[in-house]
Amino acid sequence: MIKKIIFLVCVLILSACGSYNSIDRFYNAHKNDSQVTAIRVPQFMLSLLGNISPEMKSLIGNTKDLRYMQFPSATPERTQYLNTQMNTITGNSFIEVFRKNDELKRNVISIREKRNAVKEILIYNNNNIRGSFLYFNGDFDPVKVREMAKNSEFNELPNSLVKEFNMQSSEEINE
């Protein structure tokens, strides 16, 4: 009986630490897949991304980890698989700020709080052709995050990220 209790406590502790590791596992498991765009922004480049807008500058300034991934989702089975994986990642440790379901299509914004600060933001989109997630880890003002989610300001960041990194790659190639 005591062994079962110890085992259950260990499982609970491991699952409580899970969201960052789950994002990490998902990112690492899929970054080498065919037709995937994966971006993990290094610390020194976060300040460059703050130039997108004043709101993004205030958000990016408090970011410790920023990742974006876009992946194919062309079959219903693949879409369901990805939706299930994202639901598992957010699980009970995230609060859904926004969710829109249309058949298998998903648009979800989830946050993870600690006291009076938002610590993680996960934005997941899947339109049955392509899926993506945008992940922030840091210390964020909940009022600012809610305002940005309400005004769809997170939607412009993935395009800016891809553009910034594509420009960087082509400049390096041309040198």
Q: Distance from CA of residue 118 to its chain's centroid?
A: 14
- The yes-or-no verdict on residue 14 having pLDDT over 60 is no
Give strand ranges (E) for the chain.
37-41, 63-72, 95-102, 105-114, 117-126, 130-140
Q: What is the pLDDT of residues 104-154, one digit of tens each?
A: 999 898 999 988 889 999 999 999 999 999 999 998 888 888 888 778 777
User: How confident is the model at residue 60, as a pLDDT?
Assistant: 73
Tell me how crowded residue 115 is: count the other CB atoms within 10 A of its CB. 5
